Amino acid sequence: MAGSTAAGPRKRSRGLDSGQADEYRRWLRQMMLIRRFEEKAGEAYSLGKIGGFCHLYIGQEAVAVGSLAALRPDDYITCSYREHGHALARGVPARTVMAELFGKAAGSSGGKGGSMHIFDASLGFLGGHAIVGGHIPLATGMAFAIKYRDTDQAAICYFGEAAVNNGAFHEALNMAALWKLPAIYLCENNRYGMGTALERASAIYDISERACSYDMANEVVDGQDVLVMHAAMERAVGRARSEKLPTLLEVRTYRFMGHSMSDPIHGHYRTREEVEGQRKRDPIALWSKRLIDEGLTDQAVVKALDREVVEEVEDAYQFAEQAPDPAPEELYTDVYAGS
Amino acid sequence: MPTLTYRDALNHALREEMQRDPNVFLMGEEVGVYQGAYKVSRGLLDEFGPMRVVDTPITELGFAGVGIGAAMVGLRPVVEFMTWNFALLAIDQLVNSAAKMRYMSGGQVGVPAVFRGPGGSALQLAAQHSQAFESWYAHVPGLKVVMPATPADAKGLLKSAIRDDDPVVFIEGEMLYNLKGEVPEGEHIVPLGRADVKREGTEVTIICHSKTVAVALKAAEQLSADGVDAEVLDLRTIRPLDRESILATVGKTHRCVVAEEGWAFAGVGAQVVDIIQREAFDELDAPILRVTGADVPMPYNKHLEKAAKVDPAKVIAAVNSVLYRE
């Protein structure tokens, strides 16, 4: 069972469209940027430059990149606390995200949010939220607002598979289906809610089946294949825009790191062999190989992209390190409007 | 000036605000087809339609979150809880989402939502339906807590709450819905954060809010017959608390009783007393006494229930005590 997760649906992506080569390379670059960013964040955490909790996205990059590429700038996005990757893929500058992780004034929330609360309202990026499942009703509310104003936007909510056992998930999806709201619930099934495996927490294995309770469209998606992820998201977005109907996507992926920086890679709950097996389906390696195999890029370009993103991350790190802390008087601002 | 019930005053505030601003909508259990569990939303579905008067499933956590999400992207929801007892299921959304969104986002995303419904006890509804939770919400920075005691305040404060850019916990009194009083027509606004002297007096102040205002006024009337001139200060807003008005009345009467429906421990009165002892210690001629609900779950039996509740006799006893009478 353990080996089947990321592979899951086995829906092969079809042949690549050479007209999309620039877009495909952009996805590769975004995934590489997230990987390098998270490696650097892990390093900074170990050096004590980042405090609190820090949940890395390494292994799941294709999910955020493939799905966000199917959205428009006016769509609404909410995430859980493992959201650095989504913020970067949405276009929040690496400097701004890193500065927030460092708690600096130049961070996306002025240093008041931290790793788990990245916001950029100008991009419709409406938060990292840190109570498991708590943000799912918020996305339903955003979808409600879209219907209220009768536009063709979509509201997307990212959460982990552990959140589906929470009442908030059930309540939010029921209302979205009942009221026919343009919401997309994207469950990133990385197999573990902290250290508890899916089958130790959920009475059913296929999370997509939960959508049947609400007569909601659903799909199981291979989250290690960025193209498959993108195509599934396009179908869901189309349903939201043209039919104002919600979708539950169960995206099978895998977290290559521990739950947070305080959790070792293997822990007590999974074996080294399992992690090594899953690493064979590294989304970045799969995608770069695919592009090279199909002649849409070559090894030299991949290397150049890597140098670029390493530089971008290094720049973000230096920026965050040198940025000033929030002024002491910021303690009391932003509690209420006008404060 | 027309005389309205507290219920109709709230209804007028909702109707006027929904007419004024197309972003204002009402959602909750039974607010539409049923016309409101307590008929506060009577007639609104007919006037505004089902997109703006939204009947929800019984799912407090879920629809509170829906309201917050809609507010995050610019709508102005009024979320009705059938009672604040049921809102305990939604407290995560009020505390972790609504109250903190602006701060966590560094000021980027506010939640201009009102959460309203009746709080406190009615008659023989027993332990799970008879609770006053204002001190819980007032504890949380980022929330405002408003509790009108009269029809005029109900209208004026609800209009202010709907126009406010922050999340407002608006706690009504189930036993107040039939209370009648004069209410100004049209644009009647009562600002949040201002207490109101409901009865002028010179010898002692009874500080109260919501249902205990009527109790305090009744006590003051009886005390007056007994030659004691009591002032009644209605807090109206619990957060932000009107510090200036509290200090002004204490500076005037020098003796104080604080009454509230809820439990004593860490209650609203504890905060009022703290302000007075820190900022007006030298003004006091006697220790402040508090009159609160009994420190028990609310019993069903009507005699036991009466014993658990704040009433004029308990307030009068406390007033006599701070005046060192008898």
* B positions 108-167 inside 8 Å of A (CB): 108-110, 112, 141-142, 144, 164-166
Whether B297 is in a domain gets the answer: yes
Tokens of B114: 């009102």
* Cα gap B171→B114, rounded to integer Å: 10
Instruction: State the average pLDDT over residues B28-43.
Output: 97
User: Are the Cβ atoms of A112 and B104 closer than 8 angstroms?
Assistant: yes
* A positions 47-106 inside 8 Å of B (CB): 76, 78
CATH superfamily of A17-321: Thiamin diphosphate (ThDP)-binding fold, Pyr/PP domains (3.40.50.970)
Domain co-membership, B208 together with B178? no
Neighbours of B321 (CB within 10 A): 15
Of B149, B182, B215, the residue at which a domain comes to its end is B182
A266 confidence band (pLDDT: 50, 70, 90): confident
pTM, rounded to two decimals? 0.96
Model confidence pLDDT, tens digit, residues B235-244? 999 999 999 9
The residue assigned the tokens 């932003």 is: A334
Q: Which CATH number belongs to the domain containing residue B109 in this structure?
A: 3.40.50.970
Q: In which domain, by residue range, is B160 found?
A: 3-182
Amino acid (one-letter) located at B276: I
Model confidence pLDDT, tens digit, residues A150-197? 999 999 999 999 999 999 999 999 999 999 999 999 999 999 999 999
From chain B, pick out residues whose CB is under 8 angstroms from the CB of A121: 105, 108-109
Domain co-membership, B31 together with B60? yes
* Cα gap A60→A51, rounded to integer Å: 23
Domain co-membership, B248 together with B299? yes
* A positions 134-153 inside 8 Å of B (CB): 134-145, 147-148
Nearest CA in chain B to A336: B142
User: Are the Cβ atoms of A138 and B166 closer than 8 angstroms?
Assistant: no
A265 confidence band (pLDDT: 50, 70, 90): confident
Nearest CA in chain B to A138: B69
Domain co-membership, B126 together with B210? no
> Between B92, B93, B105, which is nearest A109 by CB?
B105
* Cα gap B250→B298, rounded to integer Å: 32
Whether B189 is in a domain gets the answer: no
Domain co-membership, B233 together with B317? yes
Instruction: State the average pLDDT over residues A264-282.
Output: 92
Cβ(B106)–Cβ(A109) below 8 Å? yes
Q: Which CATH number belongs to the domain containing residue B220 in this structure?
A: 3.40.50.920
Dihedral angle, C-alpha A23, A26, A28, A29, nearest 10 °: 170
What pLDDT sits at residue A11? 54
Q: Is the pLDDT of residue A95 over 90?
A: yes
Q: Is the pLDDT of residue A5 over 50?
A: no
Q: Is the pLDDT of residue B249 over 70?
A: yes
Nearest CA in chain A to B142: A335
Q: Which of A138, A181, A214 to mutate to probe the B interface, most B CBs <10 Å?
A: A138
User: Are the Cβ atoms of B103 and A136 closer than 8 angstroms?
Assistant: no
Q: A291: which DSSP letter?
A: H
In percent, how much of chain A has pLDDT > 70? Answer: 96
Q: Is the pLDDT of residue B305 over 60?
A: yes
- Reference A279, options A267, A292, A300, A265; nearest CA is A265
Of B153, B182, B211, the residue at which a domain comes to its end is B182
What pLDDT sits at residue A129? 98
Q: Check CB contact of A327 with chain B, cutoff 8 Å.
A: no
* Cα gap A101→A334, rounded to integer Å: 19
More confident residue, B103 or A267: B103
Domain co-membership, B214 together with B84? no
User: Are the Cβ atoms of B66 and A129 closer than 8 angstroms?
Assistant: no
* Cα gap B216→B231, rounded to integer Å: 9
| Mean pLDDT value across chain B | 97
Q: Is A115 helix (H, G, I), strand (E, B) or coil?
A: coil
Whether B221 is in a domain gets the answer: yes
* Cα gap A117→A140, rounded to integer Å: 19
- The count of structural domains within chain B is 2
Q: Which of B23, B54, B72, B100 to mutate to probe the A interface, most A CBs <10 Å?
A: B72
Beta strands across the sheet bearing A217-222: A125-128, A76-79, A155-160, A183-189, A247-252, A217-222
Q: Check CB contact of B48 with chain A, cutoff 8 Å.
A: no
* A positions 167-186 inside 8 Å of B (CB): 167-168, 170-172, 174-175, 178
- Reference B109, options A181, A78, A289, A227; nearest CA is A78
Instruction: State the average pLDDT over residues A284-304.
Output: 96
> Between A112, A148, A337, which is nearest B106 by CB?
A112
Per domain, the residue ranges of chain A are 17-321
Q: Is the pLDDT of residue A297 over 50?
A: yes
Provide the terminal-to-terminal Cα distance of chain A, rounded to the nearest Å. 53
| Mean pLDDT value across chain A | 95
What pLDDT sits at residue A261? 85
- Reference B205, options B320, B302, B319; nearest CA is B319
Nearest CA in chain A to B58: A171
> Between A76, A175, A338, which is nearest B73 by CB?
A76
Q: Check CB contact of B105 with chain A, cutoff 8 Å.
A: yes
Q: Is A189 helix (H, G, I), strand (E, B) or coil?
A: strand
Omega before B240 cis (within 30°)? yes
Whether B26 is in a domain gets the answer: yes
Q: Is the pLDDT of residue A7 over 50?
A: no
Active-site annotation of B, residues: 60, 129
What pLDDT sits at residue A12? 55
Domain co-membership, B142 together with B212? no
A24 confidence band (pLDDT: 50, 70, 90): very high
Q: How many beta-carbon pairs below 8 A join chains A and B?
A: 143
Cβ(A99)–Cβ(A36) below 8 Å? no
Domain co-membership, B149 together with B11? yes
Which run of H or of E encompasses A157?
strand A155-160
Instruction: State the average pLDDT over residues B159-175.
Output: 97
Domain co-membership, B170 together with B220? no
Tokens of A261: 């920086």
Q: Is the pLDDT of residue A331 over 70?
A: yes
What pLDDT sits at residue B3? 98
Domain co-membership, B146 together with B208? no
What pLDDT sits at residue A255? 95
Instruction: State the average pLDDT over residues B267-277.
Output: 98
Burial class (CB in 10 A: 0-12, 13-18, 19+), B280: middle
Model confidence pLDDT, tens digit, residues A100-122? 999 999 999 999 999 999 999 99
Closest CA–CA distance from residue A119 to any residue of chain B (Å): 6
Model confidence pLDDT, tens digit, residues B181-213? 999 988 999 999 999 999 999 999 999 999 999
Q: Is the pLDDT of residue A98 over 50?
A: yes
Of B182, B209, B240, the residue at which a domain comes to its end is B182
From chain A, pick out residues whose CB is under 8 angstroms from the CB of B142: 335-336
What pLDDT sits at residue A2? 38
User: Are the Cβ atoms of B25 and A168 closer than 8 angstroms?
Assistant: no
Q: Is B263 helix (H, G, I), strand (E, B) or coil?
A: strand
